[in-house]
Structure 1
Amino acid sequence: MIAQILIIMGVSGSGKTSVGKSIAKEQKRIFMDGDDLHPRANINKMSQGIPLTDEDRQGWLDTIVAEAKTIVKRGETGIIACSALKRQYRDRLRSGISSINFLYLKASYEKVSQQLAARQGHFMPVSLLRSQFDLLQEPDEGEADVTTVEVQDNLEATIAIALKALV
């Protein structure tokens, strides 16, 4: 059975939004970008090159849980792009969302920094990428609800691998 909520996770610039939108279109799911759910204070902080703290993320994660519950309550399925960098963040999402799986977009610092450098119009500066990798706790074998996909050199290849892995 497909979980009602799929969280596309990974560091900023790994392709969460692009992959998530494509999978949502293919699987006829609702898509939400977790970046759009950040409070203004978080966006301002990141825009200034200041990494978020665990405390900064708590309200944001609660908002994601609330949005996911709304999707589930309507009997729909959804995909939410959310970094979910730490195990405790994923556990918080798991505890609030009854039917959830994760897709981890795994990529090297070098690959993501190149992708971020080419991205325009986003509040997250390249200077914060190192802090994301420092914070990242990659999913382990104890997290059976996580599927890991290596980010490829082109988006279409990553999407194709992700779709195949989710079947």
Structure 2
Amino acid sequence: MQYPATHLVVMGVAGSGKSTLAAALSQQLGWACAEADEFHPAANIAKMSQGVPLQDEDRWPWLEEIRDWMTAQAAGGESTVLTCSALKRGYRELLSSADGRVVFLHLDGGAELISQRMQGREGHFMPPTLLPSQLATLEPLTPKELDAGSLRLDISPAPEELVAAVVQALNLPAGQAPRAS
């Protein structure tokens, strides 16, 4: 099945492995990769660095910027892999309005494992103290989102196993980005 440009949005709470999986998918598929964190304005980063959770009014402009980037990539016929927490259905609806096929890959795991991962990483502005607020905000993928092709992935397997599962489940040709018609 040939699709227009496809956007794989690797979603989940901080520390779930979004960056690791996105980089591995990007390498396997040969698609452009972007970190949603790079789209945050300085004010958002400052808040999170101080342990202050973002509110919806902080997130909407950030999400619109991400959607617009995906649309620009699709206009050039490019498929993408993107990390984005996409914690709420409303956020995913906004991102889904990007041109092309948008598929969410929800990395799901227990709070204890995710907290351990967060404590082991260095140089990231999101402190482990914000994990409870992210878990409280998270709205899992709905049956409608799952029926549309989005996937819930247990974070326990190695990244290469998750990549293989995604490529197989979505019938993606490794090394060939679907082109816009």
TM class, shorter-chain normalised?
over 0.9
Amino acid at match of 2:76: R
Q: Counterpart of 2:143 in 1: which secondary structure?
A: coil
Gap regions ≥5 residues in structure 1 = none
Q: Which runs of 5+ in 2 are unaligned?
A: 172-181
Number of aligned positions between the proteins: 167
Are 1:148 and 2:152 matched, yes or no? yes
User: Does the 8 Å CA contact 1:103/1:148 hold for their aligned counterparts?
Assistant: yes
Larger mean Cα displacement after TM superposition, 88-97 or 122-131: 88-97
- Counting only pairs closer than 5 Å after superposition, residues 16-165 of structure 1 correspond to structure 2 as 16-143=18-145, 144-152=148-156, 154-165=158-169
In structure 2, distance between residues paired with 1:145 and 1:60: 25
Rg larger for: 2
Off by >6 Å, runs of 4+ in structure 1: none
The one-letter code matched in structure 2 to 1:101 is V
Answer yes or no: is the 8 Å Cα contact 1:100–1:145 preserved in 2.
no
For the structure 1 residues 166 and 119, does the alpha-carbon distance in structure 2 shift closer, same or farther, using more than 3 Å as the test?
A: farther
SS class of match (1:130)? helix
Change (3 A) 1:65 1:4: same
Structure 1 stretch 146-155 or stretch 117-126: which is displaced more? Answer: 146-155
TM-score normalised by L of structure 1: 0.93
Q: Is the 8 A contact 1:13 1:112 kept in 2?
A: yes
The RMSD of aligned alpha carbons is: 1.5
